[in-house]
Amino acid sequence: MTVKHLSVDYNKVNERGTFSPGDILSGRVTVVTSKETKVQCFLVRAKGKAKVTWHEQQGRARETYSDKKKYFYFEHIILQDKNKGDGSEIIRPGRNVYPFTFVIPNTDMPSSYEGKWGKITYTLRAQLTQSIWLVHKTKIEFPFLTKSEFPFASKSDMIIIGLKERHFATRISFYGSTKVTINVTSEKMGVKQGDAMGVSVEVLNESARSVTPKFYLCEKQTFVAQSKRIVHTNDTLFGMGDSVAADSSRTITKVLSVPPQLHPTFFNCSMMKLEYRLKVTVDVPLARDSEIKLPLVILLGSPKPHQEKPKRSIWFRKFPG
């Protein structure tokens, strides 16, 4: 093994550490060899893609649903032998650095994302081929951020109009011959990552028991492949309000903070989308429809430095047959 090290790295273009459509993606491939090394091909690739895969059990059969979309693909050849595989291209011993530059297409593409059954990734890969039996590879992901301020605008222009408006809903839950009425009002529908929003809950408790409102952040991931659709939901407890005694009423105000690491709402991918709701429930025993859901759009927050994933190199031998 004359190749001791192979890595690929990129230059940051902003303090967030992300790339967007139209940006220049430049970097370097580094290879360390113990002696003069002949290679057949040495190249670096940049790729953006979305992929969805899940499995469903139908009787004894197991069906697989999968789809993928390529946003861009570039390849830069660093070295390639010109004599049909005789290994005439040479890498000198020691540390060798090879620069590269790609221009990311200036088109609408979704941000990097990883969900339950699908992900959107943007990667750099370097591959050094010494022979048909010996291939070295390394890979790194770079974070990508859509340019669209509202990556859900194609869903409905009314969403944008309503981002700063107050939203409210009423629910009446019956318990025996008595009832509990809750009125929920959120100060706005659009909230940035890491920001807070105020929610007001008016509870009219005409039951014989005390009730306690609970606040949940509801996440909904939707994936589409081969004309099939699958949904993954996750409810996270935001917080709890004060109890409202039997035969009484009370208005409870709660300030809810959106986690800064929460991925923003998006619809600009044909195979997956991410939505949120604010859910408020009251624990009325045996009652039906004792919850209210209000629309919630998570917007991109203030720039924060990107925490890079550790780079990994893959070394393997390929044998014929």
Work out the pLDDT band at 320, boundaries 50, 70, 90: very low
Span(s) in the chain for CATH 2.60.40.640: 3-148+303-317, 157-299
- In this prediction, residue 55 carries a pLDDT of 94
d(CA 2, CA 16): 38
Determine the pLDDT at residue 187: 83
**Which of 1, 269, 234, 235 lies closest to 122, judged by CA?**
269
Q: Which of 89-103, 161-175, 181-195 has the lowest mean pLDDT?
A: 161-175
Cα-to-chain-centroid distance, residue 94: 39
Would you state the pLDDT for residue 58? 82
Phi, psi of 263 (to 5 degrees): -75, 135
Q: What CATH number matches the domain at 3-148+303-317, 2.30.130.10, 2.60.40.640, 3.40.1400.10, 3.90.25.10?
A: 2.60.40.640
Determine the pLDDT at residue 288.
61
**pLDDT exceeds 80 at position 86:** no
Q: Which of 164-178, 218-232, 233-247, 301-315 has the lowest mean pLDDT?
A: 301-315
| Single pTM value for the model | 0.83
Cβ neighbours, 10 Å, residue 110: 24
Q: Mean pLDDT of all residues in the chain?
A: 85
Q: What is the pLDDT of residue 65?
A: 95
Nearest CA-CA partner of 252 in 288, 215, 206, 285: 215
Backbone CA torsion sign across 80, 86, 92, 94? positive
pLDDT of 135-178, one tens digit each? 999 999 999 999 876 666 554 444 554 566 666 666 666 666 67
Q: How far apart are CA 231 and CA 52, in angstroms?
A: 12
Q: How far is CA 215 from CA 167, 244, 252, in A?
A: 15, 15, 12
Predicted pLDDT of residue 25: 97
pLDDT of residue 167: 64
SS3 assignment, position 157: helix
CB 227 within 8 A of CB 63: no
Q: Which helix (H) or strand (E) holds 179?
A: strand 178-186
Assign a CATH topology to domain 157-299.
Answer: Immunoglobulin-like (2.60.40)
